[in-house]
Amino acid sequence: MNSWQVYILRCRGNSLYTGITKNLEARIKQHNSGTGAKYTRARGPCQLVWSQSGFSESSAKKEEARIKKLSKNEKEELLDSQAPSPISPID
């Protein structure tokens, strides 16, 4: 089933965090409440800036790894080149 999403968050200090999930809204809430990844605990709050859905778990992990290998400038170019996903405010 292709229900996995790859996402990028912009965190405090303008850093970028890339992750995967099956429930994006819940995962962002985890990141912002301090129960998400160690990286975002120290750099929250974070805001969703990009997401793409329709991945299998395996393909989502591969895409996450590919994005994580990019430089900060390359990630910013990815954000600029992709059509923005609808972003709703997360409390």
CATH number, domain of 66, equals 3.40.1440.10
Predicted confidence at residue 24, as pLDDT, reads: 94
Q: Total domain count for the chain?
A: 1
Cα–Cα distance for residue pair 45/59, rounded to 1 Å: 28
pLDDT tens over the chain, length 91 residues: 569 999 999 999 999 999 999 999 999 999 998 888 888 888 888 999 999 999 999 999 999 999 999 999 999 999 988 755 544 444 4
Predicted confidence at residue 90, as pLDDT, reads: 45
Within 10 angstroms of residue 38's Cβ, the number of other Cβ atoms is: 7
Cα–Cα distance for residue pair 36/76, rounded to 1 Å: 23
In terms of Cα–Cα distance, which of 34, 38, 19 is closest to 9?
19
Residue 68 domain-assigned (yes or no)? yes
In terms of Cα–Cα distance, which of 21, 51, 14 is closest to 31?
21
Residue 90 domain-assigned (yes or no)? no
Residue 34 domain boundaries: 4-81
